[in-house]
Chain A
Amino acid sequence: MAEQIIYAMYDDDDVLKDGAKKLVAKGIKVAEVFSPFPIHGIDPIIGIKNTRLGIMAFLYGITGTIIATLGMRYFMISDWPMNIGGKPNFSYLDNILAFIPVTFEFTVLCAAHGMAITYLLRNKTLPGMIASNPDPRTTDDKFVMEFRMSENSNFSSEELLDLIKTTGVSEIDQKSVK
């Protein structure tokens, strides 16, 4: 069965947010919000959980710290210990001060790049991908809420449209996709 999608377009982020609050209170499920900039406070209203990318960044960072430590221990202590000014590298701990800067830099490098790559993959934003915003104006000054009929089976499409129309919407568009 073809999926019925309703796009409700708003001129203002606060109007959309209030509208979303009202509709969600009536038991309507908002499938998606498209906006030209982050609307603060919309996520809990439409039931979007906070991202866990921060945890990932921490894990990538720790990975960097470990790789840098193991790497430098291997290069500088076990594989080819250097004798500099009669002060040989006997153990990693004896020389750790010299290894702090690179450990730090490598931690940051891994955390930042790991997180950025995960971010792009999770967003499905990669070079050459096709944009899926319903209207080109949603990257300019319009804000769109998407409703799927399959997720709102308690309402008929007329009921849903009537409710949406009470929220200060500027345009409504309907689409059916396979």
Chain B
Amino acid sequence: MHKESAIREPLILGHKTYHQITEDVCKPIEDKAPRTWYVLFAIALIIGIYGIGCIMYLLGTGIGVWGLNKTIGWAWDITNFVWWVGIGHAGTLISAVLLLFRQKWRMAINRSAEAMTIFAVFMAGTFPLIHMGRLWLGYWVFPLPNQFGSLWVNFNSPLLWDVFAISTYLSVSLIFWYIGLIPDFATLRDRVKRPIPKKMYSILSFGWSGRAKNWNRFELVSLVLAGVATPLVFSVHSIVSFDFATSVIPGWHTTIFPPYFVAGAVFSGFAMVQTLMLVMRKAMRLEAYIHTRHVEYMNIVIMVTGSIVGVAYLTELFVSWYSGVEYEAYAFINRATGPYWWAYASMMTCNVISPQLMWIPALRRSLYFTFFISIVVNIGMWFERYVIIVSSIHRDYLPSSWSMHYPSHIDIGVYLGTIGLFFVFFLLFARFFPVLPIAELKTILKSSGEYQKNLPDTHHDNSNHH
């Protein structure tokens, strides 16, 4: 058995047994949902339906219902897209990158972080799709043989790379998530008594029986998927940044974008994980599995990626001056001091200053403070995209075409709607799916469980004495 230092904080608190882990994760699914779940679900659903209504209106009327104008052709839509894709970066990072680094603490959070990723990428995908105006022609983004002549999509375009990156990311994250879910669905299938849930979980578990060879394959598939998903995580947001970086707009045309966007994505993704996890652990009584130590680890990731983002902001500013390109310099001066200074200031405060507070151990171990900062970071990262996109294009080369962007109520409605739908999906997930990876948690119980760790040594490694 792998031994872990006794002074390392346990990952599973209290005296848990294998059965207790099953109980703790399955109980909230088998019990009746608490009233707060229905209240939250109703609120999220109403907001989501309002958003769908706005999308319907948009599709029926046209993109003109957005607050765009001739100068500002990209604004909320792409901001929201990048924001959601960024949030969708934590899940696969946690499950893939941290798996490769053998970080056991990921096991408490990977399932719901992956779920969050998938739902966030759904929401992100909504924006380019509705932006097409004619949603039903969305399949035109794929290189399909057609009767329009030799008409193919343009593989030189970063927008097309995005199509491939996002759809690969979504589907690979989905299978990664589901392959991990199969054994846990089997646990539920063998537990639940009522016939309909039993039938449902039986279908969802694909007849998993937990044979030794199945587990052997399971471990390898998880490892190889993690191996291919790791560069995928980094590639997706790099490619999203190419949407801007390959253009020749001052403020967008920046080689620093790929690493800076990836760091920003991880930063915002972990913030969203914190927001959701802190509520979930309380509501579903999972405090023994997701506790201060996990929150602290995630806060350290937030601090590091936040610092990378901060350095990137400053580098950008410096290079805009050092390059000697006056348009580039103006784009940045205008960002900081022009009519969008308030957006720039919010971005700087939320993304550069707030993560630095995490250097203080008492703060990064405080759950209330973490929750507050996670919201701040999410707001900050939304502003980052808004600043990059809108402030770079609102002042054109010709002062006569200078303009401002004011979101229409449809812009706002669609955005709020995606937040509502995201929570609809997440609440459904939390209600019907095992929110912690039951099987994987059991594998770390003996090495990282509080009770098991503190057993006297003779019991601790009794396997070696036989």
* Chain A interface residues toward B at CB < 8 A: 14, 17-18, 21-22, 32-40, 42-43, 46, 48, 50-51, 53-54, 57, 61, 71-72, 75-76, 79-80, 82, 84, 95, 98-99, 101-102, 104-106, 108-109, 111-113, 115-116, 119-120, 122-133, 136-141
Contacts and interface: CB of A to CB of B under 8 A. Distances in A.
Interface of B: 1, 17-19, 22, 143, 150-156, 158, 160-161, 164-165, 167-168, 171-172, 175-176, 179, 182-183, 186-187, 189-191, 202-221, 224-225, 228-229, 231-232, 235, 239, 242, 438-440, 442-443, 446, 462-463, 466
Contacts of B164: 101-102, 105-106, 109
Contacts of A137: 190
A132 B209 contact: yes
Which 7 A-B pairs give the minimum distances between C-beta atoms?
A: A129-B207, A136-B190, A141-B18, A38-B215, A125-B206, A75-B152, A141-B19
B82 to A, nearest CB: 17
B160 A139 contact: no
The listed residue with most A CB atoms (<10 A of its CB), out of B189, B190, B242, B439, is B190
Nearest to B213: A48
A105 B443 contact: no
Given A71-B143, A75-B143, A119-B221, A39 B183 contact: no
A66 B224 CA distance: 20
Given A104-B231, A139-B186, A140-B18, A113 B175 contact: yes
Contacts of A72: 155
B175 A76 contact: no
Nearest to A126: B206
A98 B1 CA distance: 48
A80 B151 contact: yes
B231 A141 contact: no
Given A38-B219, A46-B212, A112-B229, A105 B155 contact: no
The listed residue with most B CB atoms (<10 A of its CB), out of A36, A50, A127, is A36
Contact of B168 (A109, A119, A126): A109
9 contacts: A38-B219, A39-B215, A57-B228, A75-B143, A80-B152, A108-B228, A112-B225, A130-B207, A131-B189
Nearest to B176: A112
Contact of A128 (B151, B203, B212): B203
Q: Chain A interface secondary structure, helix, strand, loop or mixed? A: helix
Contact of A33 (B206, B208, B212): B212
Contacts of A50: 216, 220
Contact of A53 (B22, B175, B221): B221
Contacts of A128: 202-203, 206-207
Given A79-B150, A133-B190, A139-B186, A48 B463 contact: no
Given A34-B210, A116-B225, A127-B206, 12 more contacts: A18-B463, A37-B183, A37-B440, A39-B215, A79-B150, A109-B168, A116-B175, A129-B207, A132-B209, A133-B186, A138-B190, A140-B187
Contact of A105 (B212, B235, B442): B235
A35 B212 contact: yes
A127 to B, nearest CB: 6
A107 B214 CA distance: 25
A131 B155 contact: no
Contact of A116 (B179, B213, B215): B179
A19 to B, nearest CB: 9
B223 to A, nearest CB: 8
B156 A84 contact: yes
Contacts of B18: 36, 140-141
A53 B217 contact: yes
B168 A108 contact: yes
Contacts of A98: 155-156
Contact of A35 (B215, B229, B463): B215
A140 B190 contact: yes
Contacts of B183: 36-37, 139
A43 B155 contact: no
Contacts of B224: 53-54, 57, 111, 115
B247 to A, nearest CB: 13
A127 B186 contact: no
Contacts of B208: 123, 125, 131, 139
A23 to B, nearest CB: 13
B108 to A, nearest CB: 15
Contact of B207 (A46, A71, A126): A126
A17 B463 contact: yes
The listed residue with most A CB atoms (<10 A of its CB), out of B155, B207, B213, B242, is B155
The listed residue with most A CB atoms (<10 A of its CB), out of B17, B183, B213, is B213
